[in-house]
Amino acid sequence: MERKIGIFEMDGMTIEYSLIGEGKPILVMHGGHSNCHEEFGYQSLYENGFSIITPTRAGYGRTSKEIGAELKLACYYYMKLLDELKVEKVHVLAMSAGGPSGIYFAAKYPDRVESLILQSAVTKEWLIPKDIEYKVGNIMFRPPVEKAAWKLISALNNRFPQWIFKKMISSFTTLSVDQAMLKINEGDIEEMRKMNNRQRSGRGFLIDLKNIDEISIRHLGMISCPVLIMYCQHDRLVPNEHAYHAQEHIPLSELYEADAWGHLIWLGKEADTVSRKVISFLQRSS
């Protein structure tokens, strides 16, 4: 699976992006702390003949933080990236904290979107200043602290992969560690190690926390394409209410509960089932 990295420049702004495969295009809005090197769920999409376009979202990687001043502005530049790549229509796949970007893009540019998939996605008010997670995030995941934090996490994870997995798993699931370990797949520990090695926050996570406020019920109601909402009942990071909220307000939506161990629905013993559901939905929506 060859990944090509590109840079798109416009109006003094820079968007880093990656391209994988050939075929019907999918625009991926990656989650928090990620970038155009995201990997979760990609192999199945590639093997089933889809191409994958992943812009590094505002403030992450080499993408200008300034385009994240508003979701409206960020999505405009993502749309112009599609113009640059001569891509007329895409399926949009939005993960976790990338949910608001996917929702806004589908609502704002309906003629460019064939379908929308929300995976463990934020769809409404999420972390707020009084939450401990918000306070910790504002300390750990802002420059220059975030660079040192991710360097330490990745170093420890490379040295003690199983220990770090067990220490971190409770951040992603409401299950006990013992219960969650019964649901993990053989490769999950390695996948988390790889995830922690490619992650950085830059200024992107702080932008995510701010931009969530720009998504409203009105935007959900404006989405006219078919929508698949995927969630796990054991997700600790993004509560199930986000999935229910999206289904209630998006007209052509269906809800799918992944039999996973937590937020990372691309991992676990039933990961292949999740992948098959994604492919089936995309094929029906093409």
Q: Which residues are catalytic?
A: 96
- Ranges in the chain, pLDDT < 70: none
What is the C-alpha separation between 144 and 107, in angstroms, rounded? 35
Question: How far apart are the C-alpha atoms of 100 and 96, rounded to whole Å?
Answer: 9
Domain parsing of the chain, residue ranges = 3-285
Q: What DSSP element (H or E) covers 182?
A: none
- Is the domain 3-285 a CATH 3.40.50.300 member? no
Q: Which residue is it, tokens 């959900």?
A: 220
SS3 state of residue 152: helix
Write out the two tokens for 238: 């993004």
Residue pair 230/256 in contact by the 8 Å Cβ criterion: yes
State the CB neighbour count (10 A cutoff) for residue 224: 15
What pLDDT sits at residue 99? 98
Q: Amino acid letter at 110?
A: P
Q: Count other Cβ atoms within 10 Å, centred on residue 148.
A: 10
C-beta atoms surrounding 202 within 10 Å? 23
**CA dist., res. 219 & res. 105, Å (int):** 10
Q: Are 234 and 175 in contact (CB under 8 A)?
A: yes
For residue 170, with 0-12 CB atoms within 10 Å meaning exposed, 13-18 middle and 19 or more buried, which class applies? middle
Do 50 and 38 meet the contact criterion of CB atoms below 8 Å apart?
A: no
Contact between 79 and 105 (Cβ < 8 Å): yes
Q: Provide the pLDDT for residue 286.
A: 87
Residue 151's nearest CA partner among 119, 115, 196 is 196
% of the chain with per-residue pLDDT over 90 = 93
